[in-house]
Amino acid sequence: MSEQVALITGGARGIGRGIALDLASRHWKVAICYRTSEAEAQQTALAITERGGQALAVRCDVSNPVAAKQLVAQIEQTWGHIDVLINGAGPYHRINLFEETVEGWNEMFDANLHPIFYLAQAVAPGMKARKSGHIVNFSMANADQMISQPDVTAHYIAKAGVLILTRTLAKLLAPHGITVNAVSPGFIDSGSAPPEELAGMTKRIPAGYIGTIDDTVAAVRYLLSEEARYVNGANIQISGAWGI
**Could you tell me if 189 and 202 are in contact, meaning their C-beta atoms sit under 8 angstroms apart?**
no
| CB hemisphere CA count around 214 (13 angstroms) | 0
Q: Which listed residue (92, 118, 156, 222) is catalytic?
A: 156
**Active site includes 156?**
yes
Q: Which residues of 172-203 are buried (b: 16+ CB within 10 A; e: fewer)?
A: ebeeeebbbbbbbbbbbebeeeeeeebeeeee
Calpha distance 89→108 (Å, rounded): 11
User: What is the layout of strands, in order, in the sheet containing 235-238?
Assistant: 54-59, 29-34, 5-9, 84-87, 133-138, 178-185, 235-238
Catalytic residues: 156
